[in-house]
Amino acid sequence: MTQLAPLMPHATASWLVDNTALAFEQISEFCGLHILEVQAMADDLASSKYTGRDPVRAGELTMEEIDRGQADATYALQMQKAPVTVNRTKGPRYTPVSKRVDKPDGIAWVLRHHPEISDAQIGKLIGTTRNTINAIRDRSHWNTQNIQAKDPVTLGLCSQRELDAVVAKAAKKAGIVDDVEDAADVGDDRQALIEELRAEREAAEKAAAEAAQEAEAAAWLEAKRAAEEAGEAGDAAPVGEAEESA
């Protein structure tokens, strides 16, 4: 069974590096990080600086557990208390900051293609307000000139299943049944295309992450090699001076 990682892995690893004598392998295994990331933190070569987070105060580790690890470099630290995850149960749909700029485009698409959907349903589906919906509808939105109607599913604002459910509910209430049935077949093809695009995006993100990790590792190795060469040059200098004097 894979051990759970701390709530803030990088911050926890930074604290363990600065405040304990644990081996890098122990820290990387406990925090779920690559050992080169931990090494980069120790050598101040990490691309980001993290404020240390005390896992003892957080209840994820005990000092006794840390002492066991410091006494035995092969000892695997055990999580004392799994981090508590917070689940949102109330309130509007949460939209990542990177996607919030796409909300007007998604709202415009729904208003254009599914006028039968109520403002309340749009607000719940996309996570927006009635004022924003009305502003886009009557073209009084501050960014009206740049709004382009785009499928909210493609934008990642909602899932195809959620959109279909809202459309079906609104169509049933409005008495539009045939159109919904005809749209079912189209929805299958659209879903397949969306899944394909999502898979391509995830593959690209994974490749970018791996490339960044490789670049960071290469930078660390290069810095370490340069430090070792500088140390060797310093050691060799006195020998050369001695030969000249002889």
CA–CA separation, 99 and 93 (whole Å): 12
**Are residues 114 and 192 part of one domain?**
yes
Q: Are residues 57 and 126 in the same domain?
A: no
Residues 108, 170, single domain; the answer is: yes
Domain end among 71, 88, 117: 71
> What is the model's pLDDT at position 174?
76
117 and 52 housed in the same domain: no
Identify which of 108, 158, 165, 162 has the alpha carbon closest to the alpha carbon of residue 132: 108
pLDDT at 221: 81
Q: Of how many residues is the chain composed?
A: 246
Quick check: is 86 in a domain? no
Question: Which residues in the chain come in under a pLDDT of 50?
Answer: 1, 179-181, 242, 245-246
Q: Which of 197, 135, 128, 205 is nearest to 160 (CA)?
A: 197
Q: Is 225 inside a domain boundary?
A: no
Closest CA to 158 of 85, 196, 102: 102
pLDDT at 4: 76
The reply to whether 103 and 139 lie within a common domain is yes
Is residue 206 included in any domain, yes or no?
no
pTM of the prediction?
0.40
> pLDDT at position 1, please?
47
Confirm if 128 and 103 have CB atoms less than 8 A apart.
Answer: yes
Domain containing 138: what range?
Answer: 97-201
Query: Is 158 found in the same domain as 112?
Result: yes
Is residue 188 in a domain? yes
Residues 124, 159, single domain; the answer is: yes
Number of domains forming the structure of the chain: 2
**Residue 105 falls inside a structural domain:** yes
* One-letter identity of residue 13: A
* Model pLDDT, residue 205: 78
- Same domain for 194 and 105: yes
